[in-house]
Amino acid sequence: MCSSGSTAALCGQTCPPGLRHRSSPRRPNLAAQCTANRFEPAHRHSSSVTITESKMKEVIGFIGVGSIGGPMASRLLDAGHDVVGYDTRADALDALQQKGLKVASSPREVADAAQIVLVSLPTPDVVRQVASGPDGIVEGRAVRIYVDLSTTGPKTAEEIAKRLAEHDITAVDAPVTGGVAGAALGKLTLMAAGPAGAIARVSPVLATLGQVEVVGDKAGMGQSLKLINNALSATHMAITAEAMVLGVKAGLDPEIILNVLNKGSGRNTSTEERFPKFVLTRTFDNGFANALMRKDLKLYMEMAENFQVPLWVATAVDRLWMQTVVEIGPNENTTTIVKTIEKWAGVEVRGKSARPV
């Protein structure tokens, strides 16, 4: 654990500027060694051992290096951070390991190595397991701040924050929007919520990933805004799918439809980006799965029910996404929602540059 006032470090593991290691009844001083890009906990050293502070940026833990987590972890490595990572899929770690990622064998091992641990995971259940389950972050000896970049909903964020607080770990929820492309370019928007001091501590790290917007002072508030964002995204994608299929069946050229819509009041992210790039080309490789969109809609509806807010439009949108998961597939990307409407209408929304059938 660290506090202000010294730059002392143990066994080469440096503290951030202005912080020093100190002993704790619950969290003994921890040293860590990295061998062949593999993180290995080291034995404890005498408190008399002092090593000069390194110029390297501090160690960051990162758990979940999938389609969005992978590019985020890559940017942290590119920025000079020493990153210790974990994922259940070895193939997801391979490319990052070549860039210098140190691979841990469990979430706890990540939390043994880093004061700040970021997670980017697919579902609330997975997040709970990683954060507070056996061999989870909660058992780590070095971690001080946990940052959830996932979309888990406010209820899960509040539960995890309470559980971690019992172990002197501060939770910040900072779900992201901007997609795979935004993650790769460092142009995500992060909706950060939590104690002001913790947000200030992690903001320089998060700024590597994109624009940090502080939206509240309690864990869960960022999740609430993220669900609102994703409900709007799901809605304009669904209505754009219906409109484009209708236009094509009426004899209109889909490229002309989008060109005109994007000059008028009907434009949205789907008409401007997703349909030109992924639907007209028939690649459908926008990098976000149907099952995850449906999960986010269900969390949004759960939140609305808790606050007793009626959702006439979102309920209809959710039905279409549920049908898309069933008919097109849970692991297909979200732009395939247009295929659900196409099957019913008997037409395809296909551009001139679309790949051959």
d(CA 25, CA 41): 19
d(CA 320, CA 326): 10
Question: Which are the contacts of 321, defined by CB distance < 8 A and separation ≥ 6?
Answer: 234, 238, 290, 293, 294, 297, 337
Reduced to 3 states (helix: H, G, I; strand: E, B; else coil), residue 245 is: helix
Residue among 47, 48, 109 nearest 84 (CA): 109
Residue given tokens 């609430």 in the structure block: 224
Reduced to 3 states (helix: H, G, I; strand: E, B; else coil), residue 103 is: strand
The contacts found for 68-72 with CB under 8 angstroms, 24 or more apart, are: 68/120, 68/149, 68/176, 68/179, 68/180, 68/183, 68/287, 69/120, 69/121, 69/149, 70/95, 70/96, 70/183, 71/180, 71/183, 71/184, 72/118, 72/120, 72/149, 72/176, 72/183, 72/188, 72/209
d(CA 83, CA 77): 6
- What amino acid positions are annotated as catalytic residues? 226
3-state class percentages of the chain: helix first, strand second, coil last, to nearest 5: 45, 15, 40
Residue given tokens 């789907």 in the structure block: 270
Contact call for residues 210 and 240 (beta carbons, < 8 A): no
Reduced to 3 states (helix: H, G, I; strand: E, B; else coil), residue 277 is: helix
d(CA 178, CA 229): 11
